[in-house]
Amino acid sequence: MRMARWRRCRLGAVTDLDRLLNALSGPGPVAPALAVLDKAGALTEIIPELDAGRGFRQPELHYYDVLDRNLATVAALDSVLEPGDANDELRAALAWLDFDAALSGSFGGIDTVTLLRLSCLLHDVAKPATATRLDGRLRFPRHGPTGAEMMATRLHQAQLAPEAIDLVCRMIRYHLRPRDLIHNGPASDRAFRRFAADLLGQVLPLMLLNLCDGMAVRGPGYTRENFRRHAALVNYIVARCQGVAVEEWRPRQAS
What's the rounded mean pLDDT across residues 148-166? 97
Whether the Cβ atoms of residue 207 and residue 234 lie closer than 8 Å to each other:
yes
The domain ranges of the chain are 16-243
3-state secondary structure of 215: helix
The pLDDT of residue 246: 59
Within 10 angstroms of residue 19's Cβ, the number of other Cβ atoms is 17
Whether the Cβ atoms of residue 94 and residue 232 lie closer than 8 Å to each other:
no
Query: CA torsion angle for 218, 180, 88, 24 (degrees, to 10)?
Result: -70
Cα 106 from Cα 109, distance rounded (Å): 6
Single pTM value for the model: 0.91
pLDDT digits (tens, 9 = 90+) for 198-242: 999 999 999 999 999 999 998 999 999 999 999 999 999 999 999
